Amino acid sequence: MTDYRRLRVALLGAGSVGSQVASLLRQHADELADRAGARLELVGIAVRDVDAPRDVELPRELLTTDAESLIMGADIVIELMGGIEPARTHLLQAINSGADVVTANKALLATHGPEIFDAADQVGAEVYYEAAAAGAIPIIRPLRDSLAGDRVQRIMGIVNGTTNYILDRMDTEGAEFGDVLADAQRLGYAESDPTADVEGYDAAQKAAILASLAFHTTVPLDSVHREGITSIDKSMMDAARHAGYVVKLLAVCERLTGGEGEGESISVRVYPALIDRAHPLATVHGANNAVFVQAEAAGNLMFYGAGAGGVQTASAVLGDVVSAARRHIAGGVGVGESTLANLPIVPIGHVTTRYQITLEVDDEPGVLATVAGTLSEGRVSIATVEQTVVHEANGGPGVARLVIGTHKALEQDLSETVDRLAASGVVERVVSVLRVEGD
C-alpha cells in the first residue's frame, strides 16, 4: 500500500447526505487515497445529538457536538449541516484556519456566497460546492471550469425534484395538485412544510448560484424573480398538453442584449413555464433534475440526473473532497469564482418571452375583435388563437374559452395588456397566463 500523506477531514453533519459521505469515505478509503494522492482521514463528525439514530452505522467515537474544536487543525472541512447559522460561522472559521471547504448548502451560498468566496480568496483557500445546485448532477464544475472559455447565453434548469415529481404526475395521470402533493409527502418526496419547494424558493437559490457562475456576476437572491406552482391546476395541464406543451418549474438564467447604446444585462427567474414536448427538458420525469445550457461556442448541452438523495448527493460531495485533497497536495489555485463582468440584473418586466393566455369571454359577435385589438394596442402580437364553447347561451350570453399563443412580447407590455383585458367588458375571467420557454 502506498504510503500517502494524511489529510485530516472534518465532517459537519451526519444527516441524509453527511452519513453517506462518512460511510463512503470509510468504505472506499484505499481507492480514494489513490485518486486523491493523499489518505483522507475522517477525524470527526459534528452533529447536534450524538445519540440520534443514523441512516448508516458510524463509529461512536467519531461523533461530537463540538464542531469548533473539530474544525481547528482540519485540512478539509465538509459542511453538510444545512441552514445559515451556525454553518456560515463554521465555514468562515474553517477557511480562516487554512482549510479548504466543501459544502452542499445552497441556502447559505445563495445568501452569503460573496462573503464566503471573499474570505477564501483572502487566504488562498478553495470553496467546492458541486452538490449545491442540482445534487448529483455535475453542473458547477462544467460552468466554472469546462465552460470558462465560452460565453453562456442561457441556462434553463429543472432544479427542484419535488415540483418536477408533482407536475409530472399531474401531466401523465391528469391528477390535481393537492392530491399529488399529499402523495409526495407520504412517499418522502416532499417535506411536511412544502413551501420551499412548491413556492420556488429552493429553485431560486439554485438559480442565483448558477447565474453567478455562468455570467461572472454577483446575483443576490432578492434579484431572482420567483413564482411557484401552487396555481397550476388540472385544466392548465390539459390545455398545455392539448397545445403540445408540458408545464415545468424552470430556473431561467439569461444573458440579454440591450437596445441601441445599451450593453448586456442578465435576467434570473423561476416560474412554471410551458415547454414544447419535443424539447429535451420535457422528457425529464419524476423527481429527476436537468440543466440545459446554451453557450455561444459549445451550443446546447444538457446535464441530467438525480437532483437530490443522500447517497447520490454524497457522490458530488466526494468528488469535491478528492479535488480539495489534490489541490492541498499540489498547491496552486483553482479556476475559482469570478464576478468580473458584474452585469446589471434586469427586473422581470424587461424580459421578453412568448406567452399562452387563456381567457373566458362572452360568446358574442365582435368579442374576438375586441380582444385582438386590445392585444395589438398593447404591442402583443398574436401567433395562434383557439376558441371553444364553455357553455351555450341560455337566456344570457354564452361563454367561450380563448387560448391565445403570442409571439415574443415584453413582460411589462404583456402584464399591462392582460390587466386591460381583465377590465374590459368582454372578458369574464383570465384563466391563466403562462410563459413559453425553450426557443
Q: Which residue is nearest to ligand NAP (CB)?
A: 15
| CB nearer to ligand NAP: pick between 65 and 342 | 65
* Half-sphere CA count of 288, side-chain side, radius 13 A: 14
Is residue 309 close enough to count as binding ligand NAP by CB under 6 A? yes
* Helix 201-215 vs helix 106-123: crossing angle, to nearest 10: 30
Find the binder of ligand NAP among 22, 46, 101, 127 (CB under 6 A).
Answer: 46
Is residue 409 close enough to count as binding ligand NAP by CB under 6 A? no
Query: How many residues sit close enough to ligand NAP to count as binding (CB under 6 A)?
Result: 25
Of 144, 77, 147, nearest in space to 317 by CA: 77
Find the binder of ligand NAP among 5, 48, 285, 391 (CB under 6 A).
Answer: 48
Q: How far apart are CA 325 and CA 331, in angstroms?
A: 10
Other Cβ atoms less than 10 A from the Cβ of 71: the count is: 24
Of 387, 335, 323, nearest in space to 361 by CA: 387
Of 75-83, 252-260, 320-328, 419-427, which part binds ligand NAP (CB under 6 A)? 75-83
Cβ atoms 272, 434 nearer than 8 A: yes
Find the binder of ligand NAP among 44, 82, 194, 378 (CB under 6 A).
Answer: 82
Cα–Cα–Cα angle for 352, 357, 358, rounded to 5 degrees: 170
Is residue 13 close enough to count as binding ligand NAP by CB under 6 A? yes
Is residue 67 close enough to count as binding ligand NAP by CB under 6 A? yes
Catalytic-labelled residue, pool 106, 206, 234, 408: 206
Is residue 52 close enough to count as binding ligand NAP by CB under 6 A? yes
Is residue 308 close enough to count as binding ligand NAP by CB under 6 A? yes
| CB nearer to ligand NAP: pick between 47 and 295 | 47
Is residue 113 close enough to count as binding ligand NAP by CB under 6 A? no
Is residue 206 close enough to count as binding ligand NAP by CB under 6 A? no
Q: How far apart are CA 242 and CA 246, in angstroms?
A: 9
Find the binder of ligand NAP among 32, 36, 40, 135 (CB under 6 A).
Answer: 135
Is residue 290 close enough to count as binding ligand NAP by CB under 6 A? no
Please give the backbone phi and psi of residue 149, each rounded to the nearest 5 degrees, phi first: -95, 5
In the complex, least distance from residue 300 CB atom to ligand NAP, rounded to whole angstroms: 25
Which residues in the 326-385 window bind ligand NAP by CB under 6 A?
none
In the complex, least distance from residue 198 CB atom to ligand NAP, rounded to whole angstroms: 16
In angstroms, the Cα distances linking 213 to 208, 209, 249, 318 are 9, 6, 21, 21
Q: What is the end-to-end Cα distance of the chain in Å, rounded?
A: 55
Is residue 162 close enough to count as binding ligand NAP by CB under 6 A? no
Is residue 319 close enough to count as binding ligand NAP by CB under 6 A? no
| Nearby residues of 217 by Cβ (< 8 Å), 6 or more positions away | 211, 266, 339, 341, 342, 343, 345
In the complex, least distance from residue 128 CB atom to ligand NAP, rounded to whole angstroms: 13
| Nearby residues of 133 by Cβ (< 8 Å), 6 or more positions away | 106, 139, 140, 159, 206, 209, 210, 291
Cα–Cα–Cα angle for 298, 332, 108, rounded to 5 degrees: 70
Sign for the CA dihedral angle at 420, 435, 207, 172 comes to positive
206 is catalytic: yes
| CB nearer to ligand NAP: pick between 129 and 215 | 129
Is residue 17 close enough to count as binding ligand NAP by CB under 6 A? yes
Of 143-151, 228-236, 308-316, 430-438, which part binds ligand NAP (CB under 6 A)? 308-316
Sign for the CA dihedral angle at 249, 351, 214, 84 comes to negative
Q: Give 13-80 as a DSSP string.
A: --SHHHHHHHHHHHHTHHHHHHHHTSEEEEEEEE-S-TTS--SS---GGGEES-HHHHHTT-SEEEE-
Is residue 106 close enough to count as binding ligand NAP by CB under 6 A? yes
In the complex, least distance from residue 197 CB atom to ligand NAP, rounded to whole angstroms: 12
Of 45-53, 112-120, 268-276, 356-364, which part binds ligand NAP (CB under 6 A)? 45-53
| CB nearer to ligand NAP: pick between 196 and 431 | 196
- Catalytically active residues are 206
Q: Which residue ranges make up the site for ligand NAP (CB under 6 A)?
A: 13-18, 46-49, 52, 67, 80-82, 86, 104-106, 131, 135, 308-310, 313
